[in-house]
C-alpha cells in the first residue's frame, strides 16, 4: 500500500505541474477560451486543471490496481497494454492537435502541460508492470474434503 501512496504522490506532483503549465497559455489562447471555446475554461485556472488531471490519473490508478489485484495476470497484461495503446494514441493525437489546429498558437508551456498528462499516464502503466500488488487470497475449498478423509 505504501508503494501505491508513493505513486499517488508522484501523480499529484505531476498533476500540479501540468495544471500550472496548462494555465500558462498565450493571450490568444485565453481570449479564444473566453470567447469561442468556453468548454475549456477549466484550463484557465491552475488548480482546477490540476484537479482534473489528478482525478483522471486516480481513475487510471484504480482501474490498474483492481485489474492487477482481482484478475489473472494475463487479463491484467491485456488491460495494461490496451491502456498503453490508448495513451500512445492520445499522445499522438495531442501532438497532431498541437501542431495543426488552432492549439498551435498556444504557448509552449501549455503544450508541455498537455504532454505531462500523458507522461503521468505512462508512469502509471509502467508502475503496475514493474511493482507487484498483493494478489487476492485464494480460499481453498479442499479443506472440507481433506478433513473428511482423516
Q: What is the pLDDT of residues 60-69, one digit of tens each?
A: 999 999 999 9
In terms of residues, how long is the chain?
150
Going by C-beta distance under 8 Å and a sequence separation of 6 or more, which residues neighbour residue 132?
none
Residue 150 pLDDT: 54
> If we measure between CA atoms, which residue out of 110, 91, 96, 112 comes closest to residue 32?
110
Q: Which domain holds residue 80?
A: 2-134
Statement: residue 78 has pLDDT above 90: yes
C-alpha span between 19 and 54 (Å, rounded): 9
C-alpha span between 74 and 95 (Å, rounded): 31
Q: Does 44 map to a domain?
A: yes
Number of domains in the chain: 1
Q: Does 147 map to a domain?
A: no
pLDDT band at 145 (very low <50, low <70, confident <90, very high): low
Q: How far is CA 34 from CA 8, 20, 29, 43, 46, in A?
A: 32, 18, 9, 11, 15
Q: Does 144 map to a domain?
A: no
Torsional sign, CA 124, 129, 130, 135: positive
pTM of the entire structure? 0.82
Amino acid at each position: 500500500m505504501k508503494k501505491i501512496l508513493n505513486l499517488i504522490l508522484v501523480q499529484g506532483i505531476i498533476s500540479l505541474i501540468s495544471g500550472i503549465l496548462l494555465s500558462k497559455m498565450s493571450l490568444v489562447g485565453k481570449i479564444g477560451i473566453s470567447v469561442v471555446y468556453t468548454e475549456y475554461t477549466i484550463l484557465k485556472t491552475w488548480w482546477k486543471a490540476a484537479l482534473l488531471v489528478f482525478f483522471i490519473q486516480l481513475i487510471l490508478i484504480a482501474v490498474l490496481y483492481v485489474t492487477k489485484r482481482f484478475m489473472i495476470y494475463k487479463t491484467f497484461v491485456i488491460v495494461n497494454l490496451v491502456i498503453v495503446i490508448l495513451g500512445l494514441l492520445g499522445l499522438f493525437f495531442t501532438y497532431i492537435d498541437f501542431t495543426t489546429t488552432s492549439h498551435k498558437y498556444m504557448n509552449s508551456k501549455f503544450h508541455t502541460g498537455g504532454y505531462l498528462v500523458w507522461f503521468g499516464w505512462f508512469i502509471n502503466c509502467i508502475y503496475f508492470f514493474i511493482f507487484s500488488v498483493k494478489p487476492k487470497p485464494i480460499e481453498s475449498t479442499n479443506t472440507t474434503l481433506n478433513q473428511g478423509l482423516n
